[in-house]
Amino acid sequence: MEKHAEGRQVVLVTGATSGFGRATALALAAVGHRVYGVGRRALEDPTLEAALAGYIRGDLCLPDTAERAVAEVLAVEGRLDVLINDAGSGIGGALEDTDDEALRRLMELNFFAVARLCRAALPVMRRQRGGKILNLSSLGGLAGLPFQGAYSASKYAVEGYSEALRCEAAPFGVQVGLVEPGDFRTGFTASRRIVGEGSDYDALRRRAMARIEKDEGSGSDPERLAALMVKLVARKRLPVRRAAGGLGQRILVKGRRLMGDRLFLFLLRRYYMGC
């Protein structure tokens, strides 16, 4: 087992080939951490390949990928200090138009894969009496966004899971935190699955998705979120949650308690649906 320099940690990042995952992996490697990536696609990115200590190719929707990823890191490093669950996908469409297959696939990646990776990493971190788990949620995990309801549901699940896990893991020296991005410019926009073409919701969905895609297109660079991840990994104590993204979005979500649910949801509907 390699002796690690002071402050250098062994980090496992999911969704490492694109978006937040790629930016986070590169940023952490740049400050000296030993970063391992997990991704579904073949690694064909020379910059990322040079930065990573290792890459595990696998579909996180398959049950054995999480255990295999952790095992491969342990085989080389003998420890795992940080797990960052970055992988995720989205659905654009009305909930009535979202069938069981689409919903299960989304929940499999956005929630169940997170749970499996946490379960795989926790025994290692408990033995070490220390470790950090950062789960990527969303500001959409604090509000049910119209025509992104399935995505919001998956992130609400991550929120509840992470809060409970933080309590349960704390006596063993394991810290759990949430990161809640707003709108960022990533490939997530183009890869979002659209459902319900031609349904009664079609005009409303198109209006909402046009607003969503415009906001994402004018959002922050993923490197901004990666810089936050670097800071969180370096912190002695993780916050329960940290929002990231546009100030207006963060203020709106945080102000929900002040304005009340009915007004908040009315404003949300007007903003995305125009009615």
Locate 93 and state its tokens. 């469409």
Rounded distance between C-alpha atoms, residue 48 and residue 22, angstroms:
7
Q: 271 an active-site residue? A: no
Chain-centre distance of CA 128, in angstroms? Answer: 25
Radius of gyration, CA atoms only, the chain: 19
Q: Which of 55, 151, 201, 272 is catalytic?
A: 151
Rounded distance between C-alpha atoms, residue 10 and residue 52, angstroms:
11
Write down the H helix ranges in the chain.
19-30, 46-51, 64-77, 100-107, 113-128, 149-169, 188-191, 202-217, 222-234, 247-254, 256-259, 261-273
Rounded distance between C-alpha atoms, residue 25 and residue 22, angstroms:
5
CB 174 within 8 A of CB 126: yes
Q: Which residues of 181-190 are buried (b: 16+ CB within 10 A; e: fewer)?
A: bbbbebebbe
DSSP string, 35-83: EEEEESS----HHHHHH-SEEEE--TTSTHHHHHHHHHHHHHHS---EE
Chain-centre distance of CA 258, in angstroms? Answer: 27
- What backbone phi and psi angles, to 5 degrees, belong to 184? -135, 155
Rounded distance between C-alpha atoms, residue 209 and residue 212, angstroms:
5
Residues involved in catalysis: 151
